[in-house]
């Protein structure tokens, strides 16, 4: 029994010692190759064999650099977070700052759609995550109690992640069915009509008939909803 498994993060394992032949690759190279494949063909396509083939080597060679595929994915996440374009400190306009965070998150997720499918939220306090956290909380530091800041940011991030997840799934479905949105509309019309005709789903009917949001572009939808969420945050501001 004793201590149990000492699960050390990939970050605590040094990249190399100085004894044998010089390594032909690096973690960064492997991570970037993996991201390239995952961006193009999905996370499941970024298999050890495929990554190795892209680098011109054998699958098992990668294990000299990375303990497991899961650890490699952790490296990929951190590498992607690096792309968040956030200033060093809050600008004084909390609404603009939170908008910046939201749109950056969306941009990075859409560029690396595999981020939305990770089985774990990966909330580890790496340096990048901490920098983002400082910026976000600094922006919201307008007299709101600290506990409320925590929940308001969970609310904001929850909204952003949920909507972007939906966007990504929609795109994926369009791609792999080879349909255009119009064709999809036509194709699903009979099922929708059946639901409407049953008369048992009045609210669903109002969404289909009256809502204008679903007919906007993805950007407009996101922006509109984001503004509503920020309105909510503004409403509870002291």
Per CB under 7 A, residues contacting DNA are: 16-25, 45-50, 57-61, 63-65, 68-70
Tokens 């892209």 identify what position? 54
Return d(Cα 143, Cα 179) in angstroms, integer.
49
Q: Which is nearer to its own copies, 56 or 238 (CB)?
A: 238
Q: Shortest Cβ distance from residue 193 to DNA (Å)?
A: 25
Count the residues in the chain: 238
Supply the DSSP symbol for 177: H
Helix pair 94-111, 69-81: axis angle to 10 deg: 140
Residue range at the interface with its own copies (CB under 8 A); choices 29-37, 48-56, 92-100, 156-164: 156-164
Of residues 171 through 230, those in contact with its own copies by CB under 8 A are 172-173, 176-179, 191, 195, 200-204, 206-207, 210-213, 224-225, 228-229
What stretches of 120-201 show up as alpha helix (H) in DSSP?
127-139, 146-177, 181-198
Phi and psi at 126, nearest 5°, equal -75, 165
Of residues 115 through 144, those in contact with its own copies by CB under 8 A are 117, 119-121, 123, 125, 130, 133-134, 137-138, 141
Classify burial at 122, counting beta carbons within 10 Å of its beta carbon; exposed 0-12, middle 13-18, buried 19 or more.
middle
Partner that binds at residue 117, options its own copies, DNA, none, CB closer than 5 to 8 Å by kind: its own copies
Q: Shortest Cβ distance from residue 45 to DNA (Å)?
A: 7
Partner that binds at residue 189, options its own copies, DNA, none, CB closer than 5 to 8 Å by kind: none
Return d(Cα 47, Cα 38) in angstroms, integer.
9
Among 21, 56, 146, 238, binds its own copies (CB under 8 A): 146
Q: Shortest Cβ distance from residue 110 to DNA (Å)?
A: 24
Supply the DSSP symbol for 21: S
Tokens 């939808």 identify what position? 221
Scored b (16 or more CB within 10 A) or e, 37-71 reads: bbbeeebeebebebbbeebeeeeebbeebbeeeeb
Query: Judged by CB under 8 A, does residue 22 bind its own copies?
Result: no
Q: Shortest Cβ distance from residue 27 to DNA (Å)?
A: 10
Q: Which is nearer to DNA, 13 or 211 (CB)?
A: 13
Residues of the shown chain interacting with its own copies in the complex, contacts defined by CB under 8 A: 4-5, 7, 9, 11-12, 117, 119-121, 123, 125, 130, 133-134, 137-138, 141, 146-148, 150-152, 154-155, 157-163, 165-166, 169, 172-173, 176-179, 191, 195, 200-204, 206-207, 210-213, 224-225, 228-229, 231-233, 235-236
């Amino acid at each position: 029994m004793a201590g149990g498994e000492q699960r050390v993060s990939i970050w605590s394992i040094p990249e190399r010692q100085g004894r044998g032949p010089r390594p032909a690759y690096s973690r960064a190279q492997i991570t970037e190759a993996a991201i390239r494949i995952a961006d193009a063909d999905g996370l499941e396509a970024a298999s050890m064999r495929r990554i190795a083939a892209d680098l011109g080597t054998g699958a098992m060679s990668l294990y000299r650099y990375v303990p497991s595929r899961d650890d490699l994915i952790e490296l990929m996440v951190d590498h992607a977070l690096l792309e968040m374009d956030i200033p060093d400190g809050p600008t004084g306009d909390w609404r603009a700052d939170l908008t910046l965070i939201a749109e950056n998150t969306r941009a990075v997720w859409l560029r690396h759609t595999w981020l939305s499918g990770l089985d774990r939220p990966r909330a580890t306090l790496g340096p990048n995550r901490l920098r983002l956290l400082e910026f976000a909380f600094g922006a919201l530091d307008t007299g709101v109690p600290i506990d409320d800041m925590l929940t308001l940011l969970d609310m904001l991030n929850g909204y952003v992640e949920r909507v972007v997840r939906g966007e990504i799934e929609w795109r994926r479905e369009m791609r792999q069915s080879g349909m255009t949105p119009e064709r999809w509309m036509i194709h699903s019309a009979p099922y929708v009509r059946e639901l409407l005709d049953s008369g048992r789903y009045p609210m669903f009917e109002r969404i289909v008939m009256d809502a204008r949001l679903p007919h906007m572009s993805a950007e407009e939808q996101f922006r509109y909803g984001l503004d509503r969420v920020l309105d909510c945050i503004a409403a509870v501001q002291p």
